[in-house]
Amino acid sequence: MQVAIHAGVAFTDEGRVLNSLKKNSETLAAKGVKFFGPRRYKTVFRPVLNNLDTQVADLASRQNLKTLLPSEPNAQRTIFSSQGFASDPPLALQDGQLYPLAGRRMALLEQVYHDHEIELFMGLRNPGSFIPKLLMTLSEQSRVEIIRNTDLSCLSWIGMIEDIRDLAPSIQITLWCNEDTPFIWGDVIRALAGLDENTALADEYDLLLSLLDEAGQNKVLELTVQESPPDRISLKDHLANIFEDHVQAEKVEEELHLPGWNDEIVDAFSELYEQDLDRLCEIPGVRVLKP
């Protein structure tokens, strides 16, 4: 069995993955792909992952995770989707690191599903916007304590990924930038579901369309419904140009409400984010989806 874990991160999904899997359920079923959303995580996975240090007490619970895999003869791949797998958001910034529990949590899943092929899928986003959004979800006391005791300027995704590779080396990792998802949504879903790159999806361009004005939407539809559309590289170039000319600014801009967090800080993080993505591409066992 292939086991695909879609683990967020927070503020990158908003239910789109599960909705897309549902819209393409017939295609997935034909390929032997089953999928489960956050409810399965909350009821079964979270109690186990939240008790990493009570090994003996949780042996039965860990065994129970194995029973979650479908037993149908045609089932080949199972997808579990929840932003909580790497950590529930309130614990996503601790000990001077983003998602410090991710490595240990993935190591546990690697142990549980050791006789299966496990893959981890995560959409990342610019820490310059991720950090303030995350901090503003916390209580004022927790937020003040983290800001006082953490060098926020040193936070990046590198530590999380290196921890996962060190502690769960057999898990293959697929990453993408949340900022790129309008252009690669189909690639994300096909990778998550283990589908061929040419597999058609029902909602491949819905996210992009939702960000454009009417003229831009019409241009995208004209491009994508042609009997002989441009090759994949040319198509993405065309879509990027349409996006630049027809994006509705209010749909992509967001205000960051953390006091003292300004555009200069975001720009500095953006530069580091690009550098980190280049480093992530070079880590063995890590694939980064790009437009």
Spell out the domain ranges in the chain. Answer: 2-203+257-289
Total-model pTM? 0.95
Q: Which tokens go with 77? A: 């791949």
Cβ proximity of 193 and 29 under 8 Å:
no
| Phi, psi for 287 (deg, rounded to 5) | -115, 135
Give the CATH number of domain 2-203+257-289; options: 3.40.50, 1.10.20, 1.20.120, 3.30.910: 3.40.50
pLDDT of amino acid 73:
86
pLDDT of amino acid 236:
87
* Predicted confidence (pLDDT) per residue in 41-70, tens digit: 999 999 889 888 765 546 777 778 888 999
Strand-pair partners of 289: 176
The alpha-helical segments, DSSP class H, found in 136-180 are 140-149, 158-167
| SS3 label, residue 119 | strand
* Predicted confidence (pLDDT) per residue in 9-44, tens digit: 999 998 999 999 999 999 999 999 999 999 999 999
